[in-house]
Amino acid sequence: MRSPFRYTRQEKRGITILLILIASFQGVLWFYDPGFKSHRAPLMTFDSLATIPMDSLAGPENPNTFSRFRPFNPNFITDYKGYLLGMSAEELDRLYDFRKEGRYVHSAEEFRRVTKISDSLLKAISPNFSFPQFGTRVKSADGRKKVAPEFRDLNKASAQDLKAISGIGPVLSSRIVRFWDRLGGFLVDEQLLDVYGLDEEVARRALKVFRVREVPHIRKISLNRAGEEELGKLVYLGKRFAKRIVTYRDSIGRFDSVEQLTKIEDFPSDRIDRIKLYLGL
């Protein structure tokens, strides 16, 4: 058998050329790349920014974790910013989908509602939130100018818009829209409190974002001429009280004022101010 250490003349020439090339490259690196021969140059660097999410793992024990951040508008969080804040990709995607619809979050609570981040993370990062103040400049009692908050129109809010309020889910948001539709629009802000099943605290929370900006034109129902069917279409009355109104009107001849309705048995007198908005003589 041929010895493995015996080479032909061509093989020896090829090995020699290869060794010369290796030596040449080593020499070039030695003379032209200082980092190659310097043992002081570190092979790895430490990214201090990457430690921010790691610090957040400390939780409540380290309340100053996010104090290094300047105030920022959470509507414009980038992927990298969200990473530094400790938000997951899913939470960021929820915010981006919300923004693609042309909508903005206006409070820390709404930000939590949209992104579904944990309460502990919201508590940690919300002090750095800075929401722009939109609105009209008005004078306060001391003569100083201040910005009046710009509310969104309650009569133009969709069910999706209303779900951004904490405590309002798919059922309540749809119920509010149906109630508004049956009325032909809200005339005063307080009518939101009349929605069945809507807690007063939640309604007050919604009124911090939504208000009646444009009052719709309502054709009032004639209390002295309308029949049971027409009166029954009013949400506040229904067929039950519509029949009682017509019966009472037949007994007295005609109504002199809308307030006379309170004399009807079991009439919801506490809502007379709302009912007056839709009735006339």
Question: What is the tens place of the pLDDT at every residue in 162-214?
Answer: 888 888 888 999 999 998 888 888 888 888 888 888 888 888 888 888 888 87
If DSSP states are collapsed to H, E and C, what string results for the chain? Answer: CCCCCCCCHHHHHHHHHHHHHHHHHHHHHHHHCHHHHCCCCCCCCCCCCCHHHHHHCCHHHCCCCCCCCCCECHHHCCHHHHHHHCCCHHHHHHHHHHHHCCCCCCCHHHHHHHHCCCHHHHHHHHHHECCCCCEEEEECCCCCEEEEECCEEHHHCCHHHHCCCCCCCHHHHHHHHHHHHHHCCCCCHHHHHHCCCCCHHHHHHHCCCEECCCCCCCCCEECCCCCHHHHHCCCCCHHHHHHHHHHHHHHHCCCCCHHHHHHCCCCCHHHHHHHCCCEEC
Residue 50 reports pLDDT greater than 50:
no
What pLDDT is recorded for position 4? Answer: 57
Q: What average pLDDT score do residues 8-36 get?
A: 77
Question: CATH 1.10.150.280 in the chain, residues?
Answer: 221-280
Q: Is the pTM of this model over 0.75?
A: no
CATH tag for 151-211 (out of 2.30.30, 1.10.3470, 1.10.150, 3.20.20): 1.10.150
CATH for the stretch 221-280: 1.10.150.280
Question: What is the tens place of the pLDDT at every residue in 66-87?
Answer: 555 577 888 888 888 888 888 9
What pLDDT is recorded for position 124? Answer: 87
